[in-house]
Structure 1
Amino acid sequence: MTSPREDRLPVLSEDDRETAVRRLQEAYAEERISHEEMDGRLGQVLTAKTHGELAAAVASLPAEQPDTTSTISAAGGRIQRRGVWRVPRILKVESAFGRVRLDLSRAVIEHPVVDIELILGTGGARITVPRDAIVEVEGLRTGWKDVRYRARRRSRPDGPTIRISGAMEFGRLKIRHARR
């Protein structure tokens, strides 16, 4: 039975749970927790009924940094980032119409894992990744065209991991490694 005080607390939202799950996934990707520990904590997060139970599941994880997520959006036109620019931990790119060009070859990448979430209507996207990057595109759904990417034969294990997810309706994603 819950106490009267717990009954007055706001109900956990899906955003609260998703944030906790993302923090656990990031900690696992950065090798801060083991696979078994992540599984156990995910169980806690998914069955938590109060904010206290949710907080206990992520208590020993590093605090989230507020500047680790950035969103670039445009209704139409071109979205382009190139040269020297700071890549956030999570980059969300949203465009209804237009092309997306992201060049990470000279960008400052401070995180071992970078998640790029593409939400694109029409128009293609081209992403240039650093020469030593490891690219994962399993989380991307495409509607009309496919993904063009050929993995490098020899990526260094100390390069950043670029995970691309999201949805593209009518357009092709081209990913290539920088030559230099």
Structure 2
Amino acid sequence: MMTERTGPVPRASERDRDQVLVRLHTAYAEGLLDDRELDERIDLVLAAGTPAELGRLAAELPAREEPAARPEAAAPGTSGRFQMAYKSRLRRVGRWRLPARYTAVLYKGGCELDLREAELSAHVTTVRVVSYKSDVRIIVPPGVRVEAGGMGVSTEVRGAPSPSAPVVHVQGIAYKGPIEVIDHLRLP
């Protein structure tokens, strides 16, 4: 895309879109947008061609400060820290590396995060989930301590882990669909 006076116009990247989508879903979860507004803006984000177009879609929403990134580099093989499903499913099973902070955003889909064979890259792992009309299931291995909170988050984990056990902290916001944290003993 070119303009006569300024030359090339930068294109919106997938990362740019993801950041705006997270902002919109957070605003929805906080009651700043209704169902219709969220649906309309998601369609516009997916069609946006430039960062300026994306910026207009969330301009009036409060900006959120993200904590400063740690100076350490991600370890080789670390999976992404952010995943999103738009009218589809996310599924992570088998051997994979879970970063210390992981975020999943779901819109009219579903998610299964099976942590039984996952390598936890930190003693305390934070899993953040924003879910709209989606079913989310997080399966934890034996011996981990689960701390969960938010809106629409339920847990059913048996056993008493040791005080030094790794911690999986689940923070969730769910609307019209559950976020369930279960252990391997509760599987059907």
TM-score in terms of structure 1 length:
0.59
Contact 2:106 2:132 in 1 (8 A): yes
Across the aligned residues of Structure 1 and Structure 2, the Cα RMSD in angstroms comes to 2.2
Provide the residue aligned with 1:111 in structure 2.
122
AA of the residue aligned to 1:175: V
Q: Following TM superposition, by how much is the alpha carbon of 1:113 offset from its aligned partner in structure 2, in angstroms? A: 0.5
SS at match of 1:136: strand
d(CA) in 2 for partners of 1:65 and 1:92?
19
Provide the residue aligned with 2:49 in structure 1.
none
SS at match of 1:158: coil
AA of the residue aligned to 2:100: R
AA of the residue aligned to 2:161: S
Provide the residue aligned with 1:94 in structure 2.
105
Provide the residue aligned with 1:172 in structure 2.
178
d(CA) in 2 for partners of 1:99 and 1:118?
11
Q: Spell out structure 1 runs of 4+ moving beyond 2 A.
A: 63-69, 150-153, 156-159
Q: Following TM superposition, by how much is the alpha carbon of 1:14 offset from its aligned partner in structure 2, in angstroms? A: 5.9
Provide closer, same or farther for how the CA distance between residues 14 and 177 of structure 1 changes in structure 2, counting only shifts above 3 A: closer
Aligned with residue 65 of structure 1, among 72, 95, 99: 72
d(CA) in 2 for partners of 1:97 and 1:66?
33
Provide the residue aligned with 1:141 in structure 2.
151
Work out the number of aligned pairs and report it. 119
Q: Following TM superposition, by how much is the alpha carbon of 1:133 offset from its aligned partner in structure 2, in angstroms? A: 0.9
Aligned with residue 19 of structure 1, among 63, 67, 78: 67
AA of the residue aligned to 2:127: I
Q: Following TM superposition, by how much is the alpha carbon of 1:153 offset from its aligned partner in structure 2, in angstroms? A: 3.1
User: Please, which runs of 5 or more residues in structure 2 have no aligned partner?
Assistant: 1-62
AA of the residue aligned to 1:64: P
TM-score in terms of structure 2 length:
0.57
User: Please, which runs of 5 or more residues in structure 1 have no aligned partner?
Assistant: 1-12, 24-62
Provide closer, same or farther for how the CA distance between residues 154 and 79 of structure 1 changes in structure 2, counting only shifts above 3 A: same
Provide closer, same or farther for how the CA distance between residues 123 and 159 of structure 1 changes in structure 2, counting only shifts above 3 A: same
